[in-house]
Amino acid sequence: MSTASLVFSGRGPVSDATAARVRAAAQELAYAGPNPLASSLRQGRTGTVGVVVEGRLGDAFGDPFALTVLDGLARELDAIPAALLLLPREPGDDSRLLAQLGAAAVDAVVFALCGPRDDPAVDLLAGRGIPMIAAGAPVDPRVPQLLVAERAASAEVARLLVGLGHTRIGHITLPLAPRVPTGPVAPAQVALASYPDGAARALGVLDVAPDARVVQTTIADVASGEQAARLLLGVPAHERPTAIIAQSDVLAAGVLRVAADLGLRVPEDLSVTGFDGLDLPWVDVRLTTVVQDGQARGRALGAMVAAALSGASVRTTHFPTHLRLGETTGPPPTR
């Protein structure tokens, strides 16, 4: 009885009478519509797109920027239509993710957030012919990217501060590799980092301010920003940085809190910059930051997925950002 299939999918030429008869029979047999699994197997489409998430969901999406990207992505996928399957990876342990990827039925996979430069998941998915889309990582010719000019944007921030006269600059990076502790990082280590986005932003700063003190965080949240800020600011006044460049607005929010706690005025005593351009209702100053539209970024990723699923060959694209001058940057204090 293929007619039933036509009735439920609603795409065949079926007379109203027959349709009614089919529906009545379905009712009778308590048939709740086609089995999605069988339908997917037959059609080769699942209506599901995987999203790889580094670390715990609470950590990853505790950063409002990441959440906004996810939101935009979901919104765009909804139009395909496709639902989002969350595929968390324990940082530094790929085994669970690979098992999930081997067992999960997805039409495509998105690496929407920061992740390792080299990812064994790529081989697995490429082997299955599942299209992938990434935002910075993993780096692989088989994975088209939506790229941000991280290094250039970050360098622009550093240039702003150097131009204002700052010479002692602190930099707070996102994690450069899985499972790192919060703490200082030697500039030489930066180039070897496994996470490209943090590395690129740090390199941008070092391009312009090679003597910047770099402190790495474990995750992007306010508490980590505070911790890193205390490491940078908890030194004698004459070696204390007069400006801190944070790789994320939530990290910068932590810096602002520590500054207030230490009695440092922003920007008179300390300049602070962020990255992302978040609108945090609980931060009262307007942060100097690199604005990127997270929602639009997610949507752009979703559009790339849609294109890949429709069979188009998707190419690496660039996504715009711009520096926004806020109230948290100014010339260094005259001693």
Partner DNA sequence: CTGTTAGCGCATTCAC
Partner DNA sequence: GTGAATGCGCTAACAG
**Closest Cα partner for 73 from 293, 296, 318, 302?**
302
**Closest Cα partner for 296 from 68, 79, 33?**
68
119 near 138, Cβ under 8 Å? yes
Label residues 177-210 b or e (16+ Cβ within 10 Å = b). bbebebeebebebbeebbbbbbbbbbbbbbebbe
What is the rounded CA–CA span in Å between residue 200 and residue 152? 9
Q: How many residues bind DNA (CB under 7 A)?
A: 22
What is the rounded CA–CA span in Å between residue 115 and residue 177? 9
Residue 247 is given by DSSP the state S
| Binding residues vs a second copy (CB under 8 A) | 30, 32-41, 46-48, 56-58, 61-62, 64, 67-68, 70-71, 74-75, 78, 81, 83-88, 96, 99-100, 102-105, 124, 127-128, 221-223, 226, 253-254, 257, 281-283, 295
2 binds, among DNA, a second copy, none (CB under 5 to 8 A by kind): DNA
Q: Which stretch binds DNA (CB under 7 A): 31-39, 72-80, 171-179, 259-267?
A: 31-39
Residue 9 contacts DNA per CB under 7 A:
yes
CA angle 207, 138, 218 (to 5 degrees): 65
* Binding test (CB under 7 A) with DNA, winner from 24, 42, 123, 152: 42
Nearer to a second copy, 103 or 188 (CB): 103
Residue 48 contacts DNA per CB under 7 A:
no
Residue 18 contacts DNA per CB under 7 A:
yes
Q: Which stretch binds DNA (CB under 7 A): 5-13, 91-99, 191-199, 319-327?
A: 5-13
- Binding region for DNA (CB under 7 A): 1-6, 8-9, 12-15, 17-18, 33-35, 38-39, 41-43
